[in-house]
Amino acid sequence: MDRLAGVILHPSSFPSDHGIGNFSESAYQFIDVIAESGFKLWQMCPLGPTSYGDSPYQCFSAFAGNPYFINWNKLIENGYIEKKDISDLEMLPKDKVDYGALFSVFWPIVDKAFIGFKKELEKSKELKTEIDNFYKLHDYWLYDYCNFRALKERFGNRSHLEWKNKAESKNANLNKRKYFFISAEAEKHAFTQFIFYQQFYQLKQYANDKGIQLIGDLPIFVALDSADVWANPTLFDLNSEGLPNKLAGVPPDYFSEDGQLWGNPLFDWKAHKKEKFKWWTQRIKHNLELYDCVRIDHFRGFESCWAVPALETTAINGEWEKAPGSELFNTIKTQVEDISIIAEDLGVITPEVEVLLAETQFPGMAILQFAFGDDADNPYLPHNLKRNQVVYSGTHDNDTSLAWYDSLPQKTQDHVRHYLGVSGKNIGWDLFRASIKSVANYAIVPMQDLFSLGTEARFNNPGTESGNWIWRYSPEDLEAFFHDSHAYVNDILKCYGR
């Protein structure tokens, strides 16, 4: 690993006129600004199609992209729709994401765009070849996902466990093995994926050309109501009704005294081992084609995961259930070259997890907001960090550094200031500099800290059900950062060899 610095920002947080940040001009402007500031890394949350809770960590597919990120201006340029067709999107809030309102107006516009796309497809052999190649390249997940979404629409967007016509669902499940779209609705979802991937790779190429590497995020577990579980039920620990026997989560910790009950089904690791970890190999390879590096969320779950009986309402009464560990990664490494992975090794880390991390040689994580107790041996304090590590001032799950500091007891605030040798008036920037100075090869900060924002800009508060994933910055935020701070950032990065 080179000695680099970067920022965390999810694309949903970009400014846009379409109700949510997307791959529009704002994304390119963001890349320009961080590149000119000297950053070399851009980390984002998972880009999958979000489900009911709007969390990018609970998606309808482990492989598909979120159509919400499509840049509609490009589709207008291509002639698939007209400017007037997206007027409902332009009426949505610009200071935050209203997912309910977005959902209600988004899909009728997709329907119009798909009609326009099909008209162009009839005229353009080049476009026909391009989409056919896309189908072939992604056939191992695309048909599953598109048929799943089409059936979900047919059954009122209910969970696949509630679909009434089980025979129809089963037949569709068989048809997908022949790489067959069951309806025009399924083809429509294939269209959204074609556009998503086309636009994403254009954005990635632009970032790479500017010297920016993209860091993706891979949640270890998948959602119960997902194409992955629907199409591959034998790979998950389910009962005869297709319901989970146990649910994934984490025991009580810093974030929640009841733990976190995520509700994801657990993997049937014996079934995965029997197929030589084919599904996992495809998933890792797919992500490393999307990104230059991938952070695996809840990495400790590959050693053992917190399994909670399905009827529990909290994560307190769970138990650790063994996972394949290094056997999985050794298998993947025989089929996937240049594996660049960051292991999220936070939470309950046992000696067995430490052994797994050492065997894989993946860099772990350190969070400065977790560093300032009374113990000088705290592993997250800058003087205790290691080179093969990624240091963050905070992550998408933390409050902004300004809000974090303001919430601390006076004694802890005094300790933070004393340790860092600062006044505390610009604590976000103080933590930024501390991370940049550290020996950790990668240093990454949330964009909110560079904007000096408070708790109103928190992206996610684990264990809460509302108000998450909605924050967006304004064009003025980025302009102010560039005008006031980008030269300082560039100087600091050069000073400490990043």
CA distances for 96 relative to 18, 20, 26, 479, angstroms:
11, 8, 15, 18
* 430 flagged as catalytic: no
Look up residue 212 and give its two tokens: 């920016």
Catalytic entry in 344, 399, 430, 449: 344
Report the DSSP beta bridge partners of residue 218. Answer: 296
Let me know: does 39 contact 167? Beta carbons within 8 Å.
no
* CA 444 from centroid of its chain's CA atoms: 15
DSSP of 264-318: EEPB-HHHHHHTTTHHHHHHHHHHHHH-SEEEEETGGGGTEEEEEETT-SSSSS-
User: What burial class does residue 77 get, using C-beta atoms within 10 Å of its C-beta: 0-12 exposed, 13-18 middle, 19+ buried?
Assistant: exposed
Catalytic entry in 144, 228, 303, 397: 397
Tell the residue number behind the tokens 């590590």, with chain if given: 389
* 297 flagged as catalytic: yes
Q: Residue type for 59, please?
A: C
The half-sphere exposure of 306 on its side-chain side, counting CA atoms within 13 A, is 24
For residue 234, what is the DSSP state?
A: G
* 344 flagged as catalytic: yes
Q: What distance in Å separates the CA atoms of residue 90 and residue 104, rounded to the nearest whole number?
A: 13
Let me know: does 274 contact 289? Beta carbons within 8 Å.
no
Spell out a b/e string for 237-261, using b for 16 or more CB atoms within 10 Å of the CB, else e. bbeeeeebebbbbbbeeebbeebbb
Report the DSSP beta bridge partners of residue 341. Answer: 294
Sign of the four-CA dihedral 464, 303, 389, 380: positive
Catalytic entry in 297, 345, 399, 477: 297
Q: What distance in Å separates the CA atoms of residue 279 and residue 276, rounded to the nearest whole number?
A: 9
Let me know: does 68 contact 22? Beta carbons within 8 Å.
yes
Long-range CB pairs of 133-140, under 8 A, 24+ apart, other chains included: 134/193, 134/194, 134/197, 135/179, 135/190, 138/63, 138/193, 138/197, 139/179, 140/282
Hey, which residues are catalytic here?
Answer: 297, 344, 397
